[in-house]
């Protein structure tokens, strides 16, 4: 764990969260087919998955060597297509202040 990381616990699960993710408005985590993925929420209630590389949303792209069609909105690295998807069908475990 780096000094800029933050430890968050929910029930019996602990997450080490990079500080940049907290800045990105992370509100919880969703259990997905690729594992747990952090979720952010805008002020108007729109929720989206955060990429591992930059804690950003995904966006559609017609480029990429693996053909997922989705890249990180910040660094343009190709990411799993999940990052360009909606949260429909996923349960978000929200982090709560204690």
pLDDT on residue 98: 41
Q: Are 98 and 9 in contact (CB under 8 A)?
A: no
pTM above 0.75, yes or no: no
pLDDT level of residue 18 (50, 70, 90 thresholds):
low
* Cβ(51)–Cβ(59) below 8 Å: no
Reported confidence tier of residue 93, pLDDT bands at 50, 70, 90:
confident
Q: Is the pLDDT of residue 70 over 80?
A: yes
HSE, side-chain direction, 13 A CA sphere, residue 47 = 17
Handedness of CA 89, 72, 50, 41 (dihedral sign): negative
Does 29 have pLDDT greater than 60? yes
Instruction: For the chain, give the mean pLDDT.
Output: 77
């Amino acid at each position: 764990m780096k000094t800029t990381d933050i430890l968050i616990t929910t029930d019996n699960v602990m997450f080490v969260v990079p500080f940049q993710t907290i800045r990105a408005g992370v509100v919880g985590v969703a259990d997905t087919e690729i594992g747990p993925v952090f979720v952010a929420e805008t002020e108007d209630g729109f929720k989206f998955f955060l990429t591992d590389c930059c804690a950003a949303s995904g966006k559609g792209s017609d480029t990429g060597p693996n053909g997922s069609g989705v890249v990180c909105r910040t660094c343009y690295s190709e990411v799993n297509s999940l990052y360009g998807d909606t949260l429909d069908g996923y349960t978000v475990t929200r982090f709560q202040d204690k």
